[in-house]
Structure 1
Amino acid sequence: MLKRHGIFAIIGLIALFAVLHLGFAPEDHSSRTTGTTLLGGIAFLLMTCSIVLSTRAPMFEDWFGGLDRMYQVHRIVGVLAALFALVHFFGVPKALPDGADPAVNVLVPSAPLGMLSLIFLVIGLFIALNRKIRYSFWRPTHKIMGLVYILVFGHFFTAPPVFVAQFSPSGLMLLAAGIVGILSMLYSVFGMNRRTAVPFNIEAVNPLERATEVVLKPAGQSLDFKPGQFAFVEIDAKGWSEPHPFTISSAPGEDRLRFTMKVLGDWTRKVREELQPGVDVKVRGPYGRFDASNAGDKQIWLAGGIGLTPFLSKIRAMEPDDKRQIHLVYAAREAQEAIFLDELKVHAGRLSNVTLVPLFSDEGNFARVDMMKQKLPDPLDSYEYFMCGPKPMVDGIMKDLKAEGVPRHKIHTEAFEFR
């Protein structure tokens, strides 16, 4: 669930800038100049926030409710920054005010830098929002936004004084934001991967029904994680350049790290068909706050298809003395597609607090709130819900739960989309 601490921090940052910008606006600036530079400054601050979020700092995971939510905000903030930048570009005065020396102001590169940044911003935004572009092409080209940020930084700090007061309180705030943003960008591009990478070696590649389990042996120290978290997996071999995020399906404390990947596209199909034991792997993480350990005593875990993986890690880690009462609802099209179903039955047998409810659509059994209402022993609003699966299924159930009076803070989901 998205937490509001980070949203409030961004809003507070924008509000502080607006107060400083409007409260200390130069007297010789027109209201149009003050207003449009305000919009440009807000665009720059939003771009800075987007870049800072890309560092994947654990502190911000706590503020926003997990890396998946951070990326949602990263995307929305980026779009808002582009909109503010466009309004700024078309609204800012193009002619010099009376009394300004054209010979002095024509020497500064602010205008061409602003034009270039706008062009690259539109191109980068198109690439970032186009779902039809393959991830292997999208990921490196998305880095064009770093160039846009540097151009915008240069555009602001080379602007003529008749338009911008760089060393006013709001200008100094933008300068500080720019320094933080550039350092964050350099860390994301050059430093983060080296600092966070944990080396593993592929021990086994196990084909399952419409999925593949990859078993990793640590090359040194293993990964410390909580059940339900995910990590980025990068194959250290030719043709496997980009990392991909997957939920960890093993339990903490196991001597092997396991990922279970649904065969959805070229990369996961290549994993199933071509990946061999012995290949080196880099794992970066863990990330995510899909944690049921501190929730209420009565919980519903609802898994759709490959959405089982975070619950698989949770149930593998669960001890027999766990006091929570858990209903694990596992929805799949048919029994043959229900991976790890036999293992789940074994865990449900050893754990007196877990009730396993398999639902197969080919038998006419669907994960529906009206069925839960009939079969659960307690009212719907007495449970906390953890859901992971296809977005239409999760969205539909969430809507129905809200209609039945279940508070939003009792419904936990993952937003497993990173573009």
Structure 2
Amino acid sequence: MLSATRLAPSILTKLDPVNRMADSVQLEQVATIHLTSVSTSAGLTLALVFTSVVILCAIYSIPYTYFRAQHGGWKTGWQLSERPISTAPHPKDHAGYCNCLAPRRIPRLPPSIRSTAQVPLIGLTIPQFTFLLACAGLVLFASFYQSNVISDASRSGYVALSLTPFVVGLGSKIGGIGTILQVGYASVNWLHRWLGRLIFMLSTVHVIGYLVVFAREHTFLKEISEKSNQLAIMSYIGLTIVFFISMKPIRARFWHIFKVAHHAGVILFIGGLNFHLKATSPYLITLLILYGFNVIMRALTTQTTHVAFLTPLDGAKSTLISVPTIKSGWYPGQHVRIRVGRLGWDEAHPFTISSAGGMRGVQVIAKNAGDWTRKLHAISKDVVSEVKGHDQQKVPVSVAIEGPYGCANFLYAAYPSVLLVAGGSGVSYILGVAEGIAQDSARGRARTRELTLVWSVRNYAAAVDILPHFAHTIALAPAHLIFSIKIYITATKRTSNCTPFLCLPKEYAKYERYIELLPGRPEYNAILCDASDAAFRHCKVGGTGVGVCGPAGMVAALKREAWNVPGVDFHAETFSL
């Protein structure tokens, strides 16, 4: 950050009517102290306001966190474990004990606050955009209220500096703001990006202000030659790299370049800032503590001694990754980051866990969506060909698993009726959640009496590949749980006569009472109304829990329909680069 003393002469021309040298020096010192004090106060005040907001949000999430931890265990959701969980049914009749063991439902915010309509071009929901405007308003007020952008350029620099710990906290996968609020880092990553853009904007104002002063006083070459200002230039270059490389088109298309450039830019930014001005030390120390804690926790939660078994799912254009040695430690719906030794230990990819714990262990379905997943699928097919005639599950692939991450404070087991909707590869999410509900129902730890799964998939072949997972969940479900699965084949016209299981293997015909195969696309309003009616049939209070994971258009359509159905609590599981 460029020194505030460079601006004192500009103020002096307005405040100093005395021409004596002693008075000039004294006024220069007073002006410098005043500007520095105001700038520091603005940064500290903004930091306190943001900290207060985080604390209030954390307090709001306490009841949700408490009941989730009480239901799933206080250690669950933090670290994967080889210790198996008990899946044995409760010895008592479910009607007599379900109310005392099942989790409580806490009412969610009203739909008007949880609006899911998106602001065009920006990609944020209305509540997110409103919160962002409030944050931007506070930042701009702290930076420019009763301040001359040129003569007090240090103020915008201090305000930008005060935001850096929050940006790091929002981007931390473990131990950051997402962990404190118990919503996961992916849910707050949008704010991480936008606050980072505000930091770049304020830093640009800060730099331009000083450059104007240097040019006005004809001291540009002298000032640029000073080591502290050269370090400031290095810091700003690093920040500029991070800003441009983080733009969505670049980030999505050149992900690997983005990761390397992002880390390199952050190192330049912090390194230059640290040696540029002593006043940055408290903020940078906080920043480094947060980052260091995140690195340590990620290292502690990474499982490096496991083997996975790959199964190609050609119809679904995916690969099933099974790690049977990890049997517990995650909530249904959480995700992990996986590294495969044959593809390089330096590259990790996130996948939702499609199982809920038990002897099957961790299972994820990796869709062929990029070079890495396509190579993984090729390896799984090579493995099958290499061991033809043998059990392909006996062929090991070394993996490192990091996590678990994510999972909102949304207890599906607290609702008498649960509707889970997925599109395409989003089936991984609803498989894990459905298996968790089935296990909880069998153990008398769920209020759920009716569970409906709706999956939209392009072709029959993909449905065939996933049927064993549906069959496993059906086998876990107790008799008192009304369980139905609707698979919509979107490549088939709704007017066609599609007989259930007409094109599927005969061994799955016994599940006809649970699984319904339908052509076309689902009508979400009718499905939601049926789920809401089911909740009222089984319990006069409690409502309907709706979870969805899939393409953005499908999620948005279901959200709009959910607004019009009373008693629905909605959760959308999304992931974006």
Please give the range of the TM-score, normalised by the shorter of the 2 chains.
0.7 to 0.9
Q: 1:357 aligns with which of 465, 470, 486?
A: 486
Q: 1:216 corresponds to which residue?
A: 323
Alignment partner of 2:206 out of 55, 80, 88: 88
Percent of residue pairs identical: 21
Partner residue of 2:192 out of 70, 74, 78 = 74
Instruction: State the distance in 2 between where 1:234 and 1:205 align.
Output: 13
SS across alignment from 2:533: coil
2:571 maps to 1:412: yes
Q: Provide the rounded CA distance (Å) in 1 between the counterparts of 2:343 and 2:360.
A: 27
Residue of structure 2 aligned with 1:50, choices 138, 156, 167: 167
- The correspondence of residues 6-405 of structure 1 with structure 2, limited to 5 A, is 31-32=148-149, 36-58=153-175, 60=177, 61-63=179-181, 65-92=183-210, 94-95=212-213, 108-129=226-247, 130-151=250-271, 153-154=273-274, 157=277, 166=279, 174-186=280-292, 188=294, 191-208=296-313, 209=315, 210-218=317-325, 224-237=329-342, 239-254=344-359, 256-274=361-379, 277-290=395-408, 291-293=410-412, 295-317=414-436, 318-319=438-439, 320=442, 321=444, 322-324=446-448, 325-338=450-463, 339-345=465-471, 347-348=473-474, 350-351=477-478, 352-361=481-490, 362-364=492-494, 365-372=520-527, 375-376=530-531, 378=533, 382-402=543-563, 404=564
Distance 2:142 2:257 in 1: 41
- Mapped to 1, the partners of 2:324 and 2:528 lie a distance apart of 44
Deviation for aligned residue 1:86: 2.0
Q: Deviations over 1:166-207 (max 9, x none)?
A: 4xxxxxxx5322101123345556x45432211243342101
Figure out how many residues of one structure are paired with residues of the other and give that number: 391
| Structure 2 counterpart of 1:340, one-letter code | I
Question: In the superposition, relative to structure 1, how do residues 295 and 272 fare at CA in structure 2: closer, same or farther (>3 Å)?
Answer: same
Q: What TM-score comes out, normalization by structure 2 length?
A: 0.59
Aligned CA-pair RMSD = 3.9
**C-alpha distance in 1, partners of 2:276/2:140?**
16
Q: Conserved in 2, the CA contact under 8 Å of 1:211 and 1:262?
A: yes
Q: Which has the larger radius of gyration?
A: 2
Counterparts of 1:298 and 1:141, CA distance in 2: 47
Q: CA deviation at 1:298?
A: 2.5
Q: How far apart in 2 are the matches of 1:413 and 1:264?
A: 21
Decide whether the 8 Å contact of 1:227 with 1:314 is kept in 2.
yes
CA contact 1:54–1:188 (8 Å) conserved in 2? no
Mark the runs of 5 or more structure 2 residues left unpaired by the alignment. Answer: 1-52, 59-130, 384-394, 495-519, 536-541
Normalising to structure 1: TM-score of the pair? 0.78
CA displacement at 1:35 relative to structure 2: 5.1
Contact 2:144 2:156 in 1 (8 A): no
- For residues 102 and 135 of structure 1, what CA distance do their matches in structure 2 show? 38
In the TM superposition, residue 49 of structure 1 has moved relative to its aligned partner by 1.8
